[in-house]
Chain A
Amino acid sequence: MKQFLIKRLFYLIPVIFGVSIITFGLINLAPGDPAEIILRSSGVEPTMEAVAALREELGLNDPVYIQYGRWVLDVLHLDLGESYRTGRPVTEEILYRFPATLELTVAAIFFMLLVSMPSGILAALHRHAFVDHLSRIWALVGASLPGFWLGLLLIYYFSVKLGIFPVMGRGGLEHLVLPAVTLGFGMAATYARLLRASMLEVLGQDYIKVARARGLKEKLIVGRHALKNALLPVVTAFGMSFGHLLGGAVIVETIFAWPGVGKFFVDSIFNRDYPVIQGYALFMAVVFVIVNLLVDITYVFLDPRIRLEKGSQT
């Protein structure tokens, strides 16, 4: 276990290095000279002299590797620069809004589990029955339904027409329902199908037949013996899906005016607030890497074969 963790962390070093290079390089994608952009955004006429002075001040005339080194040092001090728009440190802006995004994502995952677990298991137990067909149709629709359209439809019916939920903004539980459902809907459909396939595979295994022959209760066999094995591939897939969730959160936050990192990021794009865009990319990569690490640890806890096999396998 310890060895596995050390290996896993060690493996992260080149990845984090690469991530930092990509994030640093992002600024070069922006059209125009950074100094000019800064001057424009602060309302100063970018004359040749002003631009040259600012370039010197920002160290933009130094060799790239020195700029990179300076940037990394700043990042290590949690300094991601200041937002052109608000003038406040990017780190502060992001951390201030992150709880809202976290709340939304966790709620979406909760909704996804709440729906996909029972329907996946039921579909596997009653293959080709009504439940199974229903879950297949739902999976097809779920994978094809644009999340932003679903969000708009939900707002239209539940907020505008029926007035059950508030239209937008963050607040109590009633504010959370529609955004979480929007974000989790497609994923719930996919995971129900994934769990069904995995359950069917496991239910066909010898040890399930033997467990039945041992006279164990069906509830115990399905809920414990089969489920724990069936969850392994689902957990693996979850790491990747979390990335989709973070991307989806950007759109959902925009639709529901949810005051999270994603909404802030989209607003920054239209204000050409490059430090925020850059900071957002780095922050999301860090979150994604941490979540995937947690997923791997969960997997290890579920599967003793990896936990106890010394050194081998990852």
Chain B
Amino acid sequence: MSKREFRCLDLLTGVVLVLESIEAGTEKRVKAGMKSFTFGTGERFIISPIYRLARDKMALIGLGIIIVIVAVGIFAPYLAPHDPVQVDLNQKLARPSATYPLGTDHLGRCILSRLIYGTRVSLSTAMLVLTVIIFISVPAGTISGYVGGRLDNIVMRVIDILLAFPGLVLALVVAGMLGPGLLNVMIALGAVWWVGYARIIRGMVLSVKEKEFILAARSCGTSNSKIIFRHILPNVLSPVIVLATLDMGSLILAISGLSFLGLGAQPPVPEWGAMLNDGRPYMQVAPHLMLFPGLAIMLVVLAFNLLGDGLRDAFDPKGIMRV
């Protein structure tokens, strides 16, 4: 550097600072796979959500697992080595073998076949419940948020009251009142689960409603229904899809949990939670009965959680820096 920096090195009071360089921290954004800088660069990153999702390895793994599982469910009759409900008491509690790759249960049914058919039960039940939830919550949330006033007040009060019950407990109570059965479990979960969605959707509608393009549409005399369907719903739906994906995991957990208690799928329907419950008494002699169904549940839930996390990160660009 220059000569003048030495001018003051003899100075014994005060500060002398000679810096050749300071490296700024480069902080790796693991999820987006992008670099961003802790300070001072006029860089801007504008990356589409799809691109971000495509670079998220964990989300892709989740998506891959889901695709495989859905395929397994669809092609169950071709993949399953045995009839999932065929009882053969001579073969009961058999260890895994060539004929029964994952062994048999207490009634001699092939566990692998039951697991394969079980994907159908778990996925379709969860999908159905989710559809019901969306069909209740989207209209409720949208109308409540858009119309406002008294109607909004009523919907919000109902939501507050339902939220005063612990969610899972209320679902258990409703299912318990209706009596055991997969359909009753679905009704119970739908009746409880829509509340959170409606609240979130209402919030989003409220914020979209204030945007300039809605004002513009309104000032052109566009009808309310057109505004809702053309402008508001498209803005609300993609976050709802992200939310739904994130929730698939918890829904599957809830359904299998209720079935585990004996409230959901009734014998001989091959359902994972119910299979776990069936295997419980034979823990000492045949632990594989409770090992595989649990693994199956965890794998599916994990896959949906991975994809859901990825979707959330991709569609919520808060993590991306704008300097």
Contact = CB atoms under 8 A, between A and B. Distances in A.
Contacts of B30: 128
B276 interface: yes
Nearest to A22: B161
A172 B305 CA distance: 37
Contacts of B263: 269
A227 to B, nearest CB: 23
Interface of A is mostly: helix
Interface string A205-227: 00000000000000000000000
B258 to A, nearest CB: 9
B67 to A, nearest CB: 18
B262 A270 contact: yes
A254 B179 contact: no
A243 B166 contact: yes
A280 B168 contact: no
Contact of B297 (A29, A149, A243): A149
| Residues of A in contact with B, size category | 35 or more
A147 B263 CA distance: 16
Interface string A11-28: 000111011011000110
Contacts of B179: 30-31, 272
A25 to B, nearest CB: 10
Contacts of B164: 15-16, 18-19, 285, 288-289
A36 to B, nearest CB: 14
Interface residues of B, number: 48
B29 to A, nearest CB: 11
Interface string A153-168: 1011000100000000
The residue in A144, A242, A244 that gathers the most chain B C-beta atoms within 10 A of its C-beta is: A144
B301 A285 contact: no
A266 B257 CA distance: 13
Contacts of B177: 26-27, 29-30, 274, 277
A146 interface: yes
B290 interface: yes
Given A141-B302, A148-B276, A280 B165 contact: no
B167 A254 contact: no
Contacts of B306: 140
B253 interface: yes
B290 A149 contact: yes
A235 interface: no
A148 B260 contact: yes
Nearest to A14: B157
Contacts of A274: 177
A250 interface: yes
Interface of B: 28, 30, 157-158, 160-162, 164-180, 249, 253, 256-257, 260-263, 273, 276, 280, 283-284, 287, 290, 293-294, 297-298, 301-302, 305-306, 309
13 contacts: A18-B161, A21-B161, A29-B178, A141-B302, A144-B305, A149-B297, A152-B290, A244-B166, A244-B167, A247-B168, A250-B261, A265-B176, A277-B176
Nearest 10 A/B pairs, CB to CB: A247-B168, A243-B166, A18-B161, A149-B294, A269-B176, A144-B302, A29-B177, A144-B301, A281-B173, A246-B166
